[in-house]
């Protein structure tokens, strides 16, 4: 079980590093964020099954619901950006 925790933690930090180095496409940055959320969901499910606390049971589902809402919002932003600017390159956007 400890190997799974260490592997998930390392995957989270590698994806975070990939997100910090992602400066080209908006879609790839959103995919990194979604992968981070799925790893957090997996870690939270493991924590709730190990602790067996009934008060922690709905937390993974709340996290998954918020993640899905964020993904739909991100996808709508990608579509809107692609329609207005022609691509999802971050260098084409004026973020100021």
Q: What angle do helix axes 26-51 and 59-85 make, rounded to 10 degrees?
A: 180
- pTM score of the predicted model: 0.80
Nearest to 27 by CA among 76, 68, 60: 76
CA distance 13 to 23: 18
CATH code for residues 2-92? 1.10.287.3510
CB of 41 closer than 8 Å to CB of 67: yes
pLDDT in tens, 54-96: 777 788 889 889 999 999 998 998 888 888 878 777 776 666 4
Q: Is 27 exposed, middle or buried (0-12, 13-18, 19+ CB in 10 A)?
A: middle
């Amino acid at each position: 079980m400890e190997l799974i925790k260490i592997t998930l933690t390392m995957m989270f930090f590698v994806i975070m590093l990939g997100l910090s180095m992602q400066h080209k496409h908006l879609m790839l940055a959103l995919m990194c964020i979604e992968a981070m959320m799925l790893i957090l969901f997996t870690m939270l499910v493991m924590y709730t099954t190990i602790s067996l606390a009934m008060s922690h049971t709905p937390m993974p589902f709340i996290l998954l619901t918020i993640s899905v809402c964020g993904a739909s919002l991100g996808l709508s932003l990608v579509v809107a950006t692609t329609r207005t600017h022609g691509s999802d390159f971050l260098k084409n956007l004026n973020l100021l």
